[in-house]
Amino acid sequence: MTPDIDAHVHLDTHPTHPSAVQAHLTGTQAHVASMALEAADWSAATTDVLVLARIDHEEPYWAADAAQHLTAAGITVEITPRLQEAIDDDWTWPNYPMPWCTRSEIREVSNQAQKIHDDIRHGHLLIHAHAHDGHTTVAVGTYLHRGGKSVYLHGEDHLRQIADTFDSPAQALLAFEKVHAAEMRPGPAPLTDTERAAIEARSVFDVTTDKSESSTSEPETVPVHLADAGDHDALLDTFLDAHSEFEKWRTWSDDTTHAIHESQTLRIERVHETPARETAWTVAAYETPVSDRMWHLALTDATPAPLLETLLSSLAEGDVWETAIGSPTTEKTVTQATRPLIDAGWKQTIEGGRIRWETSRADAGVQFDAFAAQSPGTLPAWTLWSGPSISHPTWTIHASAYAPAPLLASLTENLAQGTGTRTTHSQPHRPTVTASRSLPAAASPHPAHRRL
């Protein structure tokens, strides 16, 4: 029977990571398979290579699950013998702390832990503080969806669980501090070795050419939404050097930088070495140092440098980001935030409760979600993006319901009218995909596994 979709997915083990899986896509409709895999939390390493790297080491199982869904959708899937061997390998964790669980129950516990990890990684779960209780890591955070519930997390990697829930961040932090005051530290805990290995697996691919061929870099001026991300760390350092009212500190693991305004009501978090499409920046404002969060923004690591510079410049102006708590999003604030888009002639469409402004080529846009604006603390009310579509973006900026209109207007004005630079590489031949760097030595996910 001829496949319904001209897309071929070649599934294989990862070249360096012990349990990760890679998918090579070909065909005129390869984007269909790519979107399906990304929806299942596969990460795009290049335009035609995706990687599944999990913290529960169940990649072969979920790769087989993805293969079934792709095949059912009419996409051709090929699984290499070595990956099939990993799929068929019935292993279990040695000394698993819940020995009464069956293999399927262990996998379900691990998958719930994976979902928590992904929510943190994608910026859906904001971690306020963490501690070590003498046995494992504990943390407290708030979901930006799921009704905005705050949660108490217990454990690491595949054993992390939600141990309790709270109605507000203040309630959760008070309860957390009562138990863990001595060991309590702000922000998320340092990455575990397993989390670091997963990040490395998602970024190990690079597009290169034959070394015998020449390659030149040519900077060009482009609209802001197409500009390079540049060096985000350098931009933050420059900002902090110029604004002494922000105090900087970096986690002992050196993977996250925090910048806190002297008023203690504006906080910036920068997570270093983040994959391009994942949340690398979080900006949050509070009415008082101990109050609930008023508004926040989340930016992916591929956000163009000019937009990040605009955001940081706006944060240096107190009257731009300060706003009264509970300020509703009105027609006036929406108009103020989007006036630059209208002036630039961006196309406006309305779909249900969503209003969207897009370029004539539909390769960049701004979306306002009226439903989310009426339910602060859940879904983002504002989304700025660029890429093939809003559901398949190259970069995104998400903003909550009460994000100040002047700050949003600064971003949309730059997005609509600004320019930046992009470096293109002229290559005489089609690039090939290779492993750009080796993975640090890591233990096998189940070095002492046994058959069930």
> What pLDDT score was predicted for residue 3?
54
Q: Where are the domains of the chain?
A: 7-91+204-213+429-452, 103-191, 218-425
pLDDT over 70 (residue 7): yes
116-168 per-position pLDDT tens digit: 998 888 778 888 889 998 889 999 999 876 667 899 999 999 999 999 999 88
- pLDDT range class, residue 187, cuts 50, 70, 90: confident
Phi, psi of 274 (to 5 degrees): -100, 140
For the chain, give the mean pLDDT. 83
pLDDT of residue 378: 56
Is pTM, for the whole model, over 0.75?
A: no
Q: What are the pLDDT digits (tens) for 62-86?
A: 999 999 999 999 999 999 999 999 9
